[in-house]
Amino acid sequence: MRIVDLRSDTVTLPSPAMRRAMYEAELGDDVYGEDPTVNKLEEVAAEMLGKEAALLTVSGTMSNLVALLTHTGRGDEVIMGDKAHTFLYEVGGPAALGSMTTRVVPNQPDGTLKLADVENAIRPPGNVHFPRTKLIVIENTHNRMGGAVLSAAYTDALGELARRYRLQVHLDGARIFNAAVALGVNVKELTRGVDSVCFCLSKGLACPVGSVLAGPRAFIDEARRYRKMVGGGMRQAGVLAAAGLVALREMIDRLADDHANARRLAEGLAAIPGIEVNLDSVQSNIVMFDLTSPKWTTESFRLAMNARGVKFNPPLALRQFRLVTHYGIEKDDIDLALKAFREVIAEGA
């Protein structure tokens, strides 16, 4: 049976070019700063994002944690959305390992935080009763909001607000290249308004492991200490960085294929009675759908689809599921998945 795995773009496998590059990579000890392939990846990534320096980490979660540790101190407060990946899916790391508090404001359907909500959440400076607000975190594209794309104008406006209050902004850009491709802009336009940004190599860019954190050189120098503290000194990490260099050369433009497949999938699902899709919300490689057919429980429906070779995760909320297109999923896979959806829904009629 052919498997169509739509659980996440983290299930991608490295391309043949990546495997060759990993085999042939020139190596050294990265903790000593001597791995030439890591150094090259960090240099290329920093330039692409318009930042002074960059740092290879194990994962997006580590990049976000290291960024927050670097930007804040014990007892400081971070503002982020109530649907932020950093808030929901990173094991409470900022609180557990950084002794920082989190103040959440509502994420809007387009993934943004209302500027008024952010401003109202900033603690009055100098009041001994309150933690000090130090950082604002945003996410682009926004995972829980269906891969919503934040515009350069919005990010710039948030950055201006932060600077008025002498705050920093960190961008969880796990899928920032998806956002740039969706908007048809240079990624620098989406990162110029923030102080630090990270992106995942291991999602749509299809590397086996890795994330990159970028920002001012002094910030990255300090972040390097925190990376070591949380166990991120990877030594001969050029075997991973080599795949990252291939990704930055060859895998960004093809993200448009994932977006086209997501659109095809969403439109096909919207035509099936018993499934609802907000087509306006499908902006990148993530499709959210609601199971409205009363004949199926969410788990029985998912298992029935799994039995037909279509894999996706349990619902995010109530009867809402997430599907993610990625490298390795082709147009034929989308059509196969839609056929399975139609058959399973019909069985429950």
194 with 323, same domain? Answer: no
User: Is the pLDDT confidence value at 118 over 80?
Assistant: yes
Mean pLDDT of 61-67: 98
- The length of the chain is 349
User: pTM to 2 decimals?
Assistant: 0.96
Q: Write out pLDDT tens, residues 262-310.
A: 999 999 999 999 999 999 999 999 999 999 999 899 999 999 999 999 9
Amino acid making up residue 31: V
Return the closest-CA partner of residue 31 out of 243, 200, 225.
225
For residue 180, tell me if it sits in a domain: yes
What pLDDT score does 159 carry?
98
Whether 314 shows a pLDDT value over 60: the answer reads yes
CATH code where residue 270 lies: 3.90.1150.10
For position 1, what pLDDT does the model report? 86
Output DSSP code: residue 268: H
Identify whether residues 198 and 268 lie together within a single domain. no
Which range of residues forms the domain containing residue 167? 12-250
pLDDT at 326 over 80: yes
Kindly report whether the peptide bond that precedes residue 141 is cis, defined as omega within 30 degrees of 0: yes
**Are both 123 and 271 inside the same structural domain?**
no
pLDDT at 317: 83
Is position 282 within any domain? yes
- Quote the DSSP letter at residue 157: H
* Domain finish residue from 204, 219, 250: 250
pLDDT digits (tens, 9 = 90+) for 204-221: 999 999 999 999 999 999
316 pLDDT band (50/70/90 cuts)?
confident
Co-location of 52 and 171 in the same domain = yes
Mind giving me the DSSP string for 38-81?
Answer: HHHHHHHHHHHHT-SEEEEES-HHHHHHHHHHHH--TT-EEEEE
pLDDT digits (tens, 9 = 90+) for 224-254: 999 999 999 999 999 999 999 999 999 999 9
Mean pLDDT across the stretch 14-27? 98
Q: Report the run of H or E that residue 287 belongs to, with start and end.
A: strand 286-291
Same domain for 44 and 119, yes or no, is yes
Provide the angle, in degrees to the nearest 10, between the axes of the packed helices 176-183 and 255-270.
80
Could you give the strand order of the β-sheet that contains 101-105, starting from the edge strand earlier in sequence? 53-57, 211-215, 196-200, 168-172, 133-139, 77-81, 101-105
Amino acid 85: pLDDT: 97
Shared domain for 244 and 260, answered yes or no, is no
Of 250, 270, 299, the residue that ends a domain is 250
What integer is the mean pLDDT of 144-159? 98
Average pLDDT over residues 303-331: 95
% of the chain with per-residue pLDDT over 70 = 99
Q: Is the dihedral of CA 238, 244, 249, 251 positive or negative?
A: positive
Query: Average pLDDT of the chain?
Result: 97
Look at the chain and report how many structural domains it folds into: 2
Model confidence band, residue 349 (pLDDT cutoffs 50, 70, 90): low
- Residue 89 CB burial class (10 angstroms; 0-12, 13-18, ≥19): exposed
Q: Are 236 and 135 members of one domain?
A: yes
